[in-house]
């Protein structure tokens, strides 16, 4: 495994972290055993950066991750997040009020079964609360020893700067892949300027860049991706044609399509750390191998041409969800 610095003032983390798998895991079901094996194998392969949130599987992901890393807790870094809320009617909400920050952190510590969260993220910016108030409360968690470092997710450059001025951030987490490159215009440059690491979630385009999804029928019936614009039938047909070009390049290099997509993300700078999610050992091992894939300048340029901004059909999320991003 190779390692990268988490921001100017943060710890050393594995060049690839481990995100949440797409399929929810329920305690006691067969998939939990596979989940545990994947976490243990990740640690064996040198991954020391495990991502979670109180919003993932309604808190179950924190519980499962906490149990899975119990035997090597002091040798890895755990992240979690707060402020991204699913309402009973299916709508989304945000909460960045200071009192809610403290409440969520205590609840996450309990679910994770740990004494401190290594990196605590504001999952979504609350437009009704000044970012200085939310970050100020998160800074007090550091002072109290409940959190080591802090970061934000899906923040606009101006918000990122205000947050960083309030208390030094080590990371920003936002979607980034060949499929979604808009962050290269302003977000990535701002992170580099401020000395903030960029945590790239969905680096495989929510599975689209693996080459395994050819039609909507390849997604489980209740899969949330069925509601994402890029997976709608009229868009997916066009998007698969782009992925076919990625597949051809991967075959020419003797690697998988997913490995090529991850290698491209890793090639975007030492401050970029992708966190592909999986519950399965086989996928994990393939993801980790991408760290050793060498891409020539010519191949990076070619991929940039194929997946130019706007080349894909469909936005990365629905309109209602997008309203809560990039604030």
Mean pLDDT of residues grouped by 10 in the chain (327 residues)?
96 97 88 96 98 95 97 98 87 93 98 98 97 98 98 97 98 96 96 98 94 87 85 91 96 96 97 97 96 95 95 84 80
257-266 and 281-289 helices, crossing angle to 10°:
50
pLDDT value, residue 33:
95
Q: Is residue 95 part of a domain?
A: yes
Provide the CATH number for the domain around residue 54.
3.20.20.100
For the entire predicted model, the pTM comes to 0.95
Specify the number of domains making up the chain.
1
pLDDT value, residue 216:
86
pLDDT value, residue 28:
86
pLDDT value, residue 326:
84
Q: From the centroid of its chain, how far is CA 253?
A: 27
Q: Is residue 244 part of a domain?
A: no
Q: Is residue 280 part of a domain?
A: yes
pLDDT value, residue 217:
83
Closest CA to 76 of 47, 54, 52, 105: 47
Query: Phi first, then psi: what are they for 120, rounded to 5°?
Result: -110, 125
pLDDT value, residue 91:
80
Q: Is residue 224 part of a domain?
A: no
pLDDT value, residue 175:
96
Q: What is the widest separation between alpha-carbon atoms in the chain?
A: 54
Question: Which residues are catalytically annotated?
Answer: 56
pLDDT value, residue 68:
97
Q: Is residue 220 part of a domain?
A: no
Distance CA 199, CA 116 (A): 20
Which structural domain, as residue segments, surrounds residue 30?
Answer: 3-206+265-293
Q: Is residue 39 part of a domain?
A: yes
Q: Is residue 322 part of a domain?
A: no
Q: Is residue 177 part of a domain?
A: yes
């Amino acid at each position: 495994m190779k390692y990268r610095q988490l921001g100017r003032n943060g710890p050393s983390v594995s060049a690839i972290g481990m995100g949440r798998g797409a399929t929810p895991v329920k305690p006691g079901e067969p998939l939990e055993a596979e989940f545990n094996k994947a976490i243990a194998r990740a640690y064996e392969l040198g991954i020391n950066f495990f991502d979670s949130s109180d919003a993932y599987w309604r808190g179950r992901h924190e519980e499962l991750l906490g149990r899975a890393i119990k035997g090597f807790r002091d040798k890895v870094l755990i992240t979690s997040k707060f402020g991204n809320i699913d309402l009973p009617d299916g709508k989304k909400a945000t909460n960045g009020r200071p009192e809610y920050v403290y409440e969520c952190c205590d609840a996450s510590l309990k679910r994770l079964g740990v004494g401190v969260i290594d990196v605590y993220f504001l999952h979504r910016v609350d437009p009704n609360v000044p970012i200085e108030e939310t970050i100020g409360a998160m800074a007090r968690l550091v002072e109290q020893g409940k959190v080591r470092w802090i970061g934000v997710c899906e923040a606009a450059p101006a918000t990122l700067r205000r947050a960083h001025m309030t208390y030094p951030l080590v990371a920003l987490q936002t979607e980034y892949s060949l499929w979604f490159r808009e962050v290269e215009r302003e977000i990535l440059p701002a992170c580099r300027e401020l000395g903030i690491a960029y945590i790239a979630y969905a680096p495989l385009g929510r599975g689209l860049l693996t080459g395994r999804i050819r039609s909507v029928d390849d997604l489980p019936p209740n899969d949330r991706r069925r509601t994402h614009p890029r997976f709608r039938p009229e868009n997916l047909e066009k998007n698969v044609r782009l992925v076919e070009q990625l597949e051809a390049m991967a075959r020419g290099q003797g690697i998988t399509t997913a490995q090529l997509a991850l290698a491209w993300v890793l090639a975007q700078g030492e401050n970029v750390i992708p966190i592909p999610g999986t519950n399965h050992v086989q996928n994990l091992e393939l993801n980790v191998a991408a760290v050793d894939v060498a891409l020539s300048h010519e191949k990076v340029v070619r991929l940039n041409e194929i997946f130019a901004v706007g080349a894909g059909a469909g936005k990365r999320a629905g309109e209602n969800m997008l309203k809560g991003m990039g604030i």
